[in-house]
């Protein structure tokens, strides 16, 4: 199969990693081999001389336990800022060719690679290179993850407009309901409004999770993600 999906967000903190985990679990439960690829993680926890990519480790535990973490997250930075800024602060350089080479090597071993960006499409990796450019170079179709909150309609439409402008295929849109607060008027209407305004074949509404456990992720993944529909849309 050797296919891949690029997960982007309308903003930071919208639940991309949660959805990536759900997708990885859904693929595994449907007997597909899948591997996460979060090429750059910032805000990593320091353990002595080692930086630990907590999102990368979390996603690795979902499906690809045997894969070395250096392949899942090649670049780790301590500062919780955009990759370009983190690299400058820490005196390092992000090599795009290394990211592309690692992705290619992973794609030869698994049915599907779930690549997760940081923040949104226009987060800079280098001064002249954004996550948008990475998705373009890897030629990956995109799933847009949005958080159900005030402003999500504008953020989602802007993200879709950029993808359309650059000719990237949109596989679907995910609306995350991670807040435990009661629904207000905005959050209660966002799902219906987005469905009216955007034209995508796949629209996934993720309910609030009771907890972040494998059992809970499996339950929600089976309820919300139609793996065959998603894979058919890749063709």
Q: How far, in Å, CA of 65 to CA of 131, rounded?
A: 26
Q: Exposed/middle/buried for 57, CB within 10 Å: 0-12, 13-18, 19+?
A: middle
Active-site hit among 38, 101, 169, 180: 38
Active site (annotated) includes residue 109: no
Asked whether the beta carbons of 83 and 116 are under 8 A apart, the reply is no
Q: What is the DSSP string of 180-231?
A: -SPP-HHHHHHHHHHHHH---SEEEEEPPPS-SSHHHHHHHHHHH--HHHHH
Beta strands in 21-61 (DSSP E): 34-37, 40-41, 45-47, 50-52
Our CA angle for 172, 99, 221, nearest 5°, is 35
What are the residue numbers of the active site? 38
């Amino acid at each position: 199969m050797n296919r891949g999906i690029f997960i982007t967000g309308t903003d930071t903190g919208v639940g991309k990693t949660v959805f990536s985990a759900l997708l990885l679990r859904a693929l595994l439960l449907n007997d597909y081999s899948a591997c996460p690829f979060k090429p750059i993680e910032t805000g990593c926890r320091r353990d002595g001389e080692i930086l630990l990519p907590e999102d990368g480790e979390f996603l690795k535990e979902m499906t690809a336990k045997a894969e070395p973490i250096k392949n899942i997250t090649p670049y780790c930075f301590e500062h919780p800022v955009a990759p370009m800024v983190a690299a400058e602060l820490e005196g390092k350089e992000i090599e795009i060719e290394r990211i592309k080479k690692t992705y290619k090597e992973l794609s030869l071993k698994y049915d599907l690679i779930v690549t997760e960006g940081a923040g949104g499409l226009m987060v800079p990796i280098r001064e002249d290179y954004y996550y948008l450019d990475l998705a373009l170079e890897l030629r990956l179709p995109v799933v847009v993850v949005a958080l159900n909150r005030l402003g999500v309609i504008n953020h989602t439409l802007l993200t879709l407009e950029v993808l359309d402008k650059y000719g990237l295929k949109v596989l679907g849109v995910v609306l995350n309901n991670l807040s435990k607060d009661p629904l207000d008027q905005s959050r209660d209407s966002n799902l219906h409004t987005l469905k009216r305004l955007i034209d995508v074949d796949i629209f996934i509404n993720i309910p609030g999770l009771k907890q972040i456990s494998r059992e809970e992720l499996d339950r929600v993944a089976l309820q919300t993600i139609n793996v065959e529909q998603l894979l058919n849309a890749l063709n």
